[in-house]
Amino acid sequence: MGGLWSTFDGNHRSLAGLHAWAPSYRTEAWQAVADVLGAEDPGLAPAASERFAAAQNRGHPPIDGMHHALDVARARGPVGLLTNGSSDLQRLKLDQTGLAGAFDTVVVSGEAGVG
C-alpha cells in the first residue's frame, strides 16, 4: 500500500527507481479502481491519488497503551523496531505517533535495501 502514497525518499540507493515508478503506479492503480466501479471521469484517478496521499500524511495515531507497553519493555532492556517499508513512510509514522525516540535501534527495510 505504500506505493500509493510514498515519496520513497531516504531509501537505499538500490530502490532509487521507485521515485520514477510511483507516480504512474498511483494513477494506474486508482484508474483500475475507477474502471471496476464504472466511473468514467478522467480526473477521478489523479484526484483519488492526491486525496489518499493527503489523508495518509495527516497522521497515524499509536494504538492505545503503546507508550506504556514501550515503557514496560524498556525497563527490561533495550528495545528495537524492525519495520518493512519505505523510509519516508516509516519515519513519518514514528514521528506522528511520538515514538521516534522510543527505540534504541530502528531498522527500516527501505533504508537497508531489502524487504
pTM of structure: 0.81
What are the pLDDT digits (tens) for 49-93? 999 999 988 888 888 999 999 999 999 999 999 999 999 999 999
> Residues with Cβ < 8 Å from 93, sequence gap 6 or more?
60
Three-state DSSP at 87 gives helix
Alpha carbons 36 and 32: distance in angstroms, whole number = 6
Helix H or strand E segment including 56: helix 44-58
Residue 3: predicted pLDDT: 84
